[in-house]
Structure 1
Amino acid sequence: MNPVLLGLIAGVLGLAVGVSGVLAYVSSRRQRQELAANDDPAIPNGAAEVLAAIGRAYIVVDAVDGVVRASPGAYALGLVRGHTLVPPELLAMTSRVRRDGVIEERQLELQRGPLGQGSTILQVRVATVGEEYILILADDHTEIARTEEVRNDFVANVSHELKTPVGAISLLSEALDDAAGDEEAVRRFAARMSKESARLTSLVQDIIELSRLQSTDMVDRAREVDLNQLVAEAVEANRLPAENRKTTVVVGGSVDGAVYGDAKMLTTAFRNLIDNAIRYSPEGSRVGIGLRSRDGMAQVSVTDQGPGINPEDQERIFERFYRIDSARSRHTGGTGLGLSIVKHVVSNHGGEVNLWSQPGQGSTFTVRLPEMESAEPSAEKQQQSDAAGARARKATPPAGGGTREQGVSA
């Protein structure tokens, strides 16, 4: 055969093979694109944009509960792992909705994480979308549920705490009426009634104070305040309780910069801290108050010589109505709200309150608040501070080696 003809035939065959390969590649690519398009959830147009804008975690699952779409929030809440819907409660809900075609909405409490440390409260709504898909919407209500629980506990505790002194006053009034002819018994019952009445008054005042703190806008009432003066006023307010328990209140140091805040709220917080230290210190002991400025923060520490606090109780000491020893609290007259008020006030001022305590070694509560300025005091302020210290030393005789004392009773 003619070599030229053979070459021509071979060229035609090669061209045919090449064209066939290109056509096969184009056909394969088109099939892959069609398969990929078929894998996308057949949800109505615009639904994806709406889901992204509603601000709730969402999940779209197919006919076998495989996850085909999920928001980042769904992964963050631990509802989805890979392409799997994790919580069995959600799987049960999707199964019912798929079977009945009826929208279902429930509140679920789910374990947080695979180890079950803590829980998450979710408001979940499950509905069909398109022809074969199920949509799950989840809203995190954990904080809402926690707040509601705290509110309910607070109401229950208030009711219990109010019932105790009110019941005592009622019984004592009956006993007082029955003992009208016994002068000694009348005096004894009257003294008990006076004590219970004072306890009731203190509890009501603390409840009102806590309610006022929660509803007060600190920004409207905040001013430049001098913590040295506020602490001195808090010490003076506790002078009588300190004298009754023969407790010496010792104040040392000073704060250089001013603090931006509500003077009345801060004075209440320091008064409660000092009152707490006096109540739980043995009679005839000493309560120390230290003031200092460090790294732009004003620091006030209140140290007592009380029995100390166990580590397991220290985490709860700032909870409302929490008492380490209820019998001792009744004896000292504490309401269980003082430290809660302290923490609330300090938090409102952008500060923090910390506790150091060991059983048998007393406790130290330290309040740290941001100062308005961290510069050293001017010469004029330093002279005023020295003059104030001299007046305090002159007004109150030094004790314990010349340490300055206020609210003193020895």
Structure 2
Amino acid sequence: MRPWSRELWRLGLLAGIGALAGWTFSAPGLGLAAGLALCLFHHLRQLHALRTWLTHNPHADPPAASGLWGELFDRLYRYQKGQRLTQSRLRSTLKRIQESSEAMHDSVVMLDRHGDLEWWNSAATRMLGLEAAHDRGQHVTNLIRDPRFVDYFHARDYREPLTLPSPIDERLILQFQITLYGDDERLLMARDITRLHRLEEMRRDFVANVSHELRTPLTVLTGYLETYHDLVEGLPPRLVRGLSRMQEQTTRMQNLVNDLLLLSRLEIDQGGDDHAPLAMDTLLESVRRDAEALSAGRQRITVEVEETRRLIGSEQEIRSAISNLAFNAVRYTPEGCRVTLRWRPHPQGACLEVEDDGDGIDPVHLPRLTERFYRVDKGRSAASGGTGLGLAIVKHVLLRHDARLEIDSRPGHGALFRCVFPAARLAAPAAVAPASPRGSLDPAP
């Protein structure tokens, strides 16, 4: 029999005994009330025992009871015991997480859904200057006030890290990375990359200086080779072939130096001074003519303009990016293929596309295509005259214009290089001035 059924039988038995005893004294109602009162007293006594147990000593064994109350005490005791075990495991896990976070050299900061500071490790105190006594509960942008970090935090696009100086020491260069988790909460990590940053600056300075130093001897070599080339009629064929080969390699070296200098300038110079609305139809047509000259009729190159808005940016840099994509398509597609330069709308703004129907690229190479000097086919790239820096230049130009590069290609299905620009980089099309009506000019006196 279930405890609840037994409790009902007990209640009925007490009521019956009370009524029977009252009937003996000619007062059955009074006896029934006495039986129910006795039952109520029993339940009140058990409630008092339950309250005393939960209030004063919940970790002790439950009070002795039988029936429904005994089962209730046992269930509460088992539930409390399970909760204590769960809490113990959670506290142990949290302690290990905190100890491991304290052992990390990187800063770890936990933010709630509003961006307020909840917890951080000791590395965050050293790198970011956070103090538990004053900063807990503060919004993170009140403590890291760099406008670039504020924009990064509110943009909610945390796919790429952000590099900034430390808010307490400008000599310390930190790389910030935010991860969303839970109920729109954030985990902020800051890594000290000062040494890597200095090495990168040294590399850029070295490349820029070496490239500048190479320009003078290459100019001298080119000048003498051009002079000797004018005298080829009087030279033996063997020397003529040697001069032609030297001219090809000197031109290739000049292109490499020019690309290195351009890449160094893109990395160092902040840019933005020469940004203006660009007529994309005119720019694409100019690049098309240059690509046709390089193609020499081997490919069919077309331009498609579906977007009327103009792109706000540097004409020199945008031209360089489009030219690199178009020239790559010309160099690496077989004869008879089609290359399309396209400016069209995009859900996020607008995009520049360079598409070809050539051999395509194996997807395994796509993540590394924008690395310096990375080549899918080293022998073929060297024969085509490429420097291996074209897509690296494209990547840096797009970063300076708040854009991104998307590559879609499969072997045998051609390649599509898409430069996606945000709507903030677009301007309304230029207004065409209305023609003056005939006869509106004032007559000459």
TM-score normalized by the length of structure 1 = 0.51
Question: RCO higher in 1 or 2 (8 Å CA, sep ≥ 6)?
Answer: 1
CA RMSD in angstroms, aligned pairs only:
4.6
1:148 to 165, 190, 199: 199
**1:334 is the counterpart of 2:397:** no
Task: Find the partner of 2:277 among 224, 236, 253.
Answer: 224
Of residues 263, 266, 279 in structure 2, which corresponds to 1:210?
263
Alignment partner of 1:277 is 2:323: no
From 353, 356, 368, the equivalent of 1:301 is: 353
Q: What is the aligned counterpart of 1:317 among 353, 369, 373?
A: 369
| Counterpart-to-counterpart distance in 2, 1:182 and 1:379 | 60
How far the C-alpha of 1:217 sits from its partner, in A, is 2.9
SS at structure 2 position matched to 1:210:
helix
Pairs within 5 Å for 1:168-183: 183=236
Q: Which amino acid aligns with 1:345?
A: V
Q: State the alpha-carbon separation in 2 of the partners of residues 348 and 265 from structure 1.
A: 9
Paired residues for 1:234-313 under 5 Å: 234-243=287-296, 246-295=298-347, 297-313=349-365
Q: In the alignment, what sits opposite 1:62? A: none
| Post-superposition CA distance 1:37-67 (Å, at most 9, x none) | xxxxxxxxxxxxxxxxxxxxxxxxxxxxx96
| Segments ≥4 residues shifted beyond 3 Å | 69-77, 149-160, 179-182, 371-381
User: How far does residue 248 in structure 1 lie from its aligned partner after superposition?
Assistant: 1.5
Say whether the 8 Å CA contact 1:355–1:365 is kept in structure 2: yes
Q: Matches of 1:158 and 1:318 in 2, distance apart? A: 23
Aligned to 2:92: none
**CA positional deviation for 1:342:** 0.5
Contact 1:352-1:367 within 8 A present in 2 as well = yes
> For the structure 1 residues 251 and 139, does the alpha-carbon distance in structure 2 shift closer, same or farther, using more than 3 Å as the test?
closer
Q: Give, in whole Å, the separation in 1 of the partners of 2:426 and 2:257.
A: 39
Range with bigger deviation, 246-255 or 275-284: 246-255
- 1:11-410 pair list within 5 angstroms: 74-75=107-108, 140-142=191-193, 144-145=195-196, 148=199, 152=203, 183-243=236-296, 246-295=298-347, 297-372=349-424, 380=432
CA separation of 1:322/1:367 partners in 2, compared to 1, >3 Å: closer, same or farther? Answer: same
1:227 Cα shift? 2.1
Q: TM-score, normalised by structure 2?
A: 0.47
- Contact map agreement 1:289 1:301 (CA 8 A) in 2: yes
User: Which has the higher Rg, Structure 1 or Structure 2?
Assistant: 2
Structure 2 residues not aligned, in runs of 5+: 1-97, 111-118, 123-171, 173-188, 436-445
Separation (CA, whole Å) in 2 of partners of 1:294 and 1:321 = 31
- What's the counterpart of residue 133 of structure 2? none
Matched residue SS, 1:267: helix
Query: Following TM superposition, by how much is the alpha carbon of 1:229 offset from its aligned partner in structure 2, in angstroms?
Result: 2.1
Q: What is the letter of the counterpart of residue 300 of structure 1? A: L
The alignment covers a number of residue pairs equal to 252
Contact 1:224 1:258 in 2 (8 A): yes
Check whether the contact 1:180–1:186 (CA below 8 A) recurs between aligned residues: no
Aligned to 1:37: none
CA distance in 1, matches of 2:330, 2:363: 21
Identity %, equivalent residues: 27
Deviation at 1:265, TM superposition (A): 0.7
Contact 2:274 2:313 in 1 (8 A): yes
Q: 1:74 to 1:271 in 2, by over 3 A?
A: closer
2:77 — aligned with what?
none
Q: 1:294 to 1:336 in 2, by over 3 A?
A: same
Structure 1 counterpart SS, 2:272: helix
Which AA in structure 2 matches 1:322?
Y
